[in-house]
A and B are shown apart, each in its own frame.
Chain A
Amino acid sequence: MYQGVIMSGFGGQGIISAGILLAYTGLTEGKHVTFFPAYGAEMRGGTANCSVVISSEEIASPVVAFPDTLIVMNEPSLTKFEPSIRKGGLLLINSSLVSGKSKRDDLNIHYIRANEFAEKLGTIKIANMVMIGAYSRITGAISIEGLRKSLKKVFPRARQDILDMDLEALKKGMETV
């Protein structure tokens, strides 16, 4: 089992947090993991992306040039990374913010209204969790139970009610795909 994932969106959408949650959950479930953020000039409203590898074998390179899965949280990210997804790969699109459709016909594509779901649950800040929930269900690379346990570890300073909302968002993401 090998999953090279790129998640991309605006700074402030929780791209980096979601990536760390993925990697940490993989680690707790006995997988090899790497996480690499785009770093430096990123800021709220700018672009942010990260690469996560989850694998049952030792990971040689942490560089994800051709992702197996692309999670797109905004329009520019789709344009930027869509061409690089491996044939037969998975493309998850936050259709609340991405109006365009994918140009690829060789992918497994899901359009998820992540912002709307998140807002209904209480805050758009958890749109990232909706996407991670969907990812978990489709690929099985990490489990919902693993994600639930990891929340407290990855966000040690978050209030319990926020963590509860995160879990609801993860579940919502699972249900939609």
Chain B
Amino acid sequence: MGEKLLMKGNEALAEGAVRAGCRFFSGYPITPQNEVPEYLSWRLPEVGGTFIQAESEVAAINMLYGASACGARVMTSSSGPGISLKQEGISYISGANLPIFYANVMRGGPGLGNIAPAQGDYYQSTRGGGHGDYRVIVLAPNSVSEMGNFPKRCYDLAEKYRMASMVLADGLLGQMMEPIEFDFEPVDPAKLPPKEWALGNAEGRERRIIRSYDLKPGYLEKMTLKLLEKYNKIEEQEVKYEAVQTEDAEILLVAYGTSSRISKEALMLGRKEGIKVGLLRPITLWPFPTKILGELSGRIKKILTVEMSLGQLIDDVKLAVEGKSRVYLHGRPSGGIPTGEEVLEIIKNICSE
């Protein structure tokens, strides 16, 4: 806490993770998140942690699986194509009820795509992403400050619920610089309460087993229903969002991450011209702020989702709104970055309908 630093988003994310107690990172390079492993490669050894550049994304995520099973605060990061490769391991980790933290600094897709900022991995992040029934807690920062402060929140949530928690950012948030102030005291992982389930140092205690499956007939269903209990609790208790000038809004923008910054500019431009624009920014993408959107849609009849994807966030908005408002889309995929002026034009078109 204290000093205001000017940091790059990726470096803030890496430093934030270390301050939050991360002591193990394994990953594989990909633009636009390379500053994360670059930073951790020297920073983690400074605090007695371990940095491994793995031979592949699949190896990296399985190293994380092992380190997490032993109770370490662990992290990996990548961009879309690399996260795809890690999904198998994330699914196993979810089945095994292990806490991990990872970050996706999104770039344009599909396929190899490009290295421009994009938000096309919304489905991948909020729907689990790998095989089987599981969820991942998804936090979406929209500033360098949040890039630095969200890893702490992710670790707290991941360990509270024993599951994967991630930061979903994009190339712009990763590459841009902004002032940052860390809002928490550095965590010493050695002083955290012992994990009652962690492996290692087994002498003198009962054997512990961590696995992602149970082959006895009917048992896996029970295991997965246990996951549901936890997911239901998270949906009730862990939703976070930011509401901007929604009280008198006649049109509501819904956007996260970089898109929410651009939407805020459109809101300010619109308000200057007397258009009553509001903004709802989901901070947790899963759990999604369904309840507040449902409430707002009773009153605000026009909703515009602004996303740097073809229309993914809009699905969650429609599920929340349940037909009570008309939901419009402004989607710029694969590296297209909207401007405030551009969004304002669309707001005007919708309002004049």
Contact = CB atoms under 8 A, between A and B. Distances in A.
A56 to B, nearest CB: 14
Given A27-B6, A33-B6, A39-B32, A61 B176 contact: no
Interface residues of A, number: 19
A20 B177 contact: yes
Nearest to B35: A39
B31 A40 contact: yes
B250 interface: no
Interface in B144-175: 171-172, 175
A60 B265 contact: yes
A36 B264 contact: no
A63 B178 contact: no
A141 to B, nearest CB: 16
Contacts of A61: 261-262, 264-265, 339-340
A32 B261 CA distance: 14
Given A39-B171, A40-B31, A60-B261, A23 B177 contact: yes
B268 interface: yes
Interface in A50-89: 60-63, 65-66
B235 interface: no
Contacts of B264: 60-61
B175 A37 contact: yes
A157 to B, nearest CB: 15
A41 B339 CA distance: 23
A24 interface: yes
Contact of A35 (B32, B178, B339): B178
B37 to A, nearest CB: 16
B179 A33 contact: yes
Q: From B172, B177, B265, B337, name the one whose CB has the most chain A CB atoms within 10 angstroms.
A: B177
A36 B261 contact: no
A34 interface: yes
Contacts of B172: 36, 62-63
A174 to B, nearest CB: 23
Given A40-B115, A62-B261, A34 B178 contact: yes
Contact of B339 (A24, A27, A33, A63): A63
Nearest to B261: A61
A40 B265 contact: no
Interface residues of B, number: 23
A60 B340 contact: yes
Interface in B5-62: 6, 31-32
B268 A27 contact: no
A104 B195 CA distance: 66
Nearest to B176: A36
Nearest to A51: B176
Nearest to B262: A61
B177 A35 contact: yes
Nearest to B175: A39
A65 B266 CA distance: 13
Contacts of A36: 172, 175-177
Nearest to A34: B178
Interface string B79-120: 000000000000000000000000000000000000100000
Interface string A4-43: 0000000000000000100110010000111111011100
Interface in B237-261: 261
Interface in B257-301: 261-262, 264-265, 267-268
B348 interface: no
B316 interface: no
A27 B4 contact: yes
A62 B176 contact: yes
A40 B265 CA distance: 26
B305 to A, nearest CB: 17
Given A40-B31, A40-B115, A60 B178 contact: no
A34 B171 CA distance: 15
Contacts of A33: 6, 177-179
Interface in B168-216: 171-172, 175-179
B115 A23 contact: no
Contacts of A20: 6, 177
Interface of A: 20, 23-24, 27, 32-37, 39-41, 60-63, 65-66
6 contacts: A27-B4, A33-B179, A35-B177, A41-B115, A61-B262, A65-B342
Given A24-B6, A39-B32, A63-B340, 12 more contacts: A20-B6, A27-B6, A35-B176, A35-B178, A36-B177, A40-B32, A60-B268, A61-B340, A63-B172, A65-B341, A66-B339, A66-B341
